[in-house]
Structure 1
Amino acid sequence: MDTIASLFSFITTPVSWIIVQFHSLYGAVFGPDTGWAWGLSIVSLVVLIRICLIPLFVKQIKSTRNMQALQPKMKAIQERYKNDKQRQSEEMMKLYKETGTNPLSSCLPILAQSPFFFALYHVLSKIASGDTIGVLNQSLVNSAREAHIFGAPIAAKFMDDPAKVEALNASLLDVRIVTAVMIVLMSLSQFFTQRQLMQKNVDLTVKTPYMQQQKMLMYIFPVIFAVMGINFPVGVLVYWLTTNVWTMGQQMYVINQNPTPGSKAQDQYLQRLVKSVTSHGDVRGRRRRAVVQAIVAKGPDRNDNERKFYTSLAKAGFTPQADGSVKKVDPATAEAENAAATRRQQPKRQPKAKRQAQAAHQSPAKTSLEKADEPQDAKQQPAKPAGGSARQAKSGQRKGQQRPKHPSSKK
């Protein structure tokens, strides 16, 4: 881990400078040597980083939704070119380019904050050993070493030996209790974040292997964080717990305000929208008007949640308009119009005779090449005479070769 952290040493100076600035602010309130001053400095560092990453988070949401929508097409490409990996990759890249989807966008927030994470780990490791780093001089390093969060030094780890913990003026039991609680909270927040994403903000109409992969990650990620957490200093656990809580809250806001089409969260959002329209008689808010406008523009491509939204509005006596507003009408009239629109969305099944006639009409005629490939015996067969009652089978008599009559039978 030290080797990995040293790769991000170029950013340790900015990270240490930000921590010192926040420490000077909180130190004036709680005291410069307290755990509150140093702990809140780390929390503020996380908040600042995550605010800067909001544009990447928006791209992550769009990329994740596009990937969910493309799963059926991707599966079809894999099955079609399963024996040609190069062609399969080319078609995948072509699909990404046509839809404007970047598979790496879903990992951008994690990749973007990784340098800050490893830089903070490197800073805390230096504090634990009493060495200066970045803009942290010796007095600040000594102050940070004396800072305790619930009795655990911010530079202590779960796996530290008793002698090292005693050098930081703390007990091993306090360090392990505090770190264990933080690791459990960190893992639970990660699990809950992934769980609410899978249960509420996933398009339930798309059944693909992508769904199974996300479900596996829901159980694997918390275990990975728990295993890695025993080697993290308390300050890094504070950092990672804060960023997990931020992600959970940010995702809850997105699920409630901008859910994925076709998901359970969208159904709940549209139900709340129906209640709001029923109570106020109008669509309140620019965001809600944009949602109604998008649903109206979809036309026959609406999903089940959006058709249910139309039906609920019709029962309440409202009809959505193209500008995102609603129009008050008679409930019976609104339900009749909604039923008629629903019937228009369902194509009528044609009679069997008409389908057979269309199939016969669409069947391609034989080409000259196909005619040339016909057996010669078929070409040399003489044509059957068009008429002649003697050569035609009598009515009620079996066609083809007849069985000879027995000699004793009457003619």
Structure 2
Amino acid sequence: MSLDWIYWAISWILLIWHSAWDAIGVPATAALGTNWAWILSIIFLVITVRVILFPVFVKQIKSQRAMQALAPQIKALQEKHKGDRETLQKETMELYRKEKANPLMGCLPMFLQIPVFLGLFHVLRRLSPDNPQPTIYGWSLDQFTSASNAKLFTAPISGRFGSTAAQLNELGANPTTVKIIAGVLVLIMMATTYLTSRQMILKTGWAQDPQQRMIQRLMLYGIPASLLISGSIFPIGVIIYWVTNNLFTLGQQQWVLRKYPPPPTANLPGLPGSARTGTGGRPTTGGKATAPAAKPSGLFGRTKANGAQPAAKPAIDTKALAPKPGAKPVNPKKGRPANKRQG
């Protein structure tokens, strides 16, 4: 299947925003060796896509709430069909269908953004002065030349951490500068990707369903770790897109989670399938630690009706009463006065 329609769509949005910044007087080249018109075009490409996908993001939050509400039923199915994986999966999917819950909805916004990411990646890779087709996807020659020379702190937006010296020389860039800028952006990309997943899990808790929990762990740890390697092949412009997208997600999630707070029974990270715990590991209600129940005291744990504790009997030292070694046994009957008969 051809992806040209994606490349045309991404190019169109970029060019529309670049024309807007030109119209309001944003200079093509400004301080710090940065072409702000093109940088802002990439940033507002993110905003455009996220505004379009906002209804999907709200559905994602609602789906997560539905999954949390089904957690007790899922746990009961796991206990009922322990060891019967096929039956468990069948009845779990039937429960999802009956309650109209979709466990994959949590990843849908990310999946929908993949075509945008791939489209921008493809378009930026073509930004080279030596490209024999500079007017493809609706670009004019002037727009293509301007974008090919666009830089962030003197590093071309089409440059990559893994670019060869020959490729960077074609772009008129300093290889050391490109690697520093790209490397810092990759680290920021990893950090913000981790924070977006962590923020969601802190607010909604770990899922009871093993599949959902596996997806959460993959998003929390797996994806940021993979960016350490894959980030070296991303053009700087794509990394700008990714970081901006993560920052937008952090703000959007904060707003949505405040407007639609998770249920109070949501689990916290580190405690999958259990209640929230406070200081000392005691379960809490509403975030406040509850005191442990008082243990009954007294003989056999019984107390008097009025709540007073029965008096403790003095302890008897049996060793002190035992006869000493070598001592003659004492007959307790001896030494007692004989009973006198009453006359």
What is the TM-score normalised by the length of structure 2? 0.69
* 1:318-369 CA-partner distances (Å, limit 9, x unpaired): xxxxxxxxxxxxxxxxxxxxxxxxxxxxxxxxxxxxxxxxxxxxxxxxxxxx
Distance 2:188 2:236 in 1: 13
Shift in Å, 1:139: 2.4
Shift in Å, 1:147: 0.9
Distance 1:160 1:115 in 2: 23
Name the structure 2 match of 1:143: 146
Distance 2:265 2:153 in 1: 42
Report if aligned partners of 2:75, 2:208 keep a CA contact under 8 Å in 1. Answer: no
The amino acid across from 2:93 in the alignment is M
Shift in Å, 1:255: 2.9
2:5 to 3, 10, 15: 10
Report if aligned partners of 1:151, 1:174 keep a CA contact under 8 Å in 2. Answer: yes
Distance 2:17 2:5 in 1: 20
Name the structure 2 match of 1:26: 21
Name the structure 1 match of 2:315: none
Name the structure 2 match of 1:190: 193
The amino acid across from 2:189 in the alignment is M
Distance 1:216 1:109 in 2: 16
Report if aligned partners of 2:190, 2:224 keep a CA contact under 8 Å in 1. Answer: yes
Question: SS of the counterpart of 1:113?
Answer: helix
* 1:357-395 CA-partner distances (Å, limit 9, x unpaired): xxxxxxxxxxxxxxxxxxxxxxxxxxxxxxxxxxxxxxx
Report if aligned partners of 1:148, 1:154 keep a CA contact under 8 Å in 2. Answer: yes
Shift in Å, 1:145: 1.0
Distance 1:23 1:217 in 2: 33
Report if aligned partners of 1:125, 1:155 keep a CA contact under 8 Å in 2. Answer: yes
Name the structure 2 match of 1:154: 157
Question: SS of the counterpart of 2:286?
Answer: helix
Report if aligned partners of 1:42, 1:239 keep a CA contact under 8 Å in 2. Answer: yes
Distance 2:285 2:261 in 1: 14
Question: SS of the counterpart of 2:173?
Answer: coil
Distance 2:220 2:107 in 1: 15
Report if aligned partners of 1:24, 1:32 keep a CA contact under 8 Å in 2. Answer: no
Distance 2:185 2:47 in 1: 18
Gaps of 5+ in 1: 1-5, 267-302, 309-411
Report if aligned partners of 1:201, 1:260 keep a CA contact under 8 Å in 2. Answer: yes
With over 3 angstroms needed to count, the CA separation of the structure-2 counterparts of 1:104 and 1:264, relative to structure 1, is closer
What is the TM-score normalised by the length of structure 1? 0.58
Distance 2:6 2:126 in 1: 14
With over 3 angstroms needed to count, the CA separation of the structure-2 counterparts of 1:57 and 1:123, relative to structure 1, is same
* 1:186-245 CA-partner distances (Å, limit 9, x unpaired): 111111222222333327xx7664557634642222112222211100111111111111
Question: SS of the counterpart of 1:30?
Answer: coil
Aligned-pair identity (%): 36
The amino acid across from 2:27 in the alignment is G
Name the structure 1 match of 2:301: none
Q: Does 1:179 align with 2:212?
A: no
* 1:242-268 CA-partner distances (Å, limit 9, x unpaired): 1111111111222333221116899xx
**Structure of higher RCO (CA pairs closer than 8 Å, 6+ residues apart):** 2
Distance 1:122 1:154 in 2: 13
Distance 2:267 2:205 in 1: 8
Name the structure 2 match of 1:101: 101
Q: How does 1:208-227 map to 2 (within 5 A)?
A: 209=210, 210-211=212-213, 214-215=216-217, 217-227=219-229
The amino acid across from 2:95 in the alignment is L
Distance 2:183 2:2 in 1: 28
Name the structure 1 match of 2:112: 112
Greater helix percent: which structure? 1
The amino acid across from 1:241 in the alignment is V
Distance 2:185 2:267 in 1: 30
The amino acid across from 2:6 in the alignment is I
Q: Does 1:54 align with 2:57?
A: no
Name the structure 2 match of 1:368: none
Distance 2:137 2:215 in 1: 41
Question: SS of the counterpart of 1:103?
Answer: coil
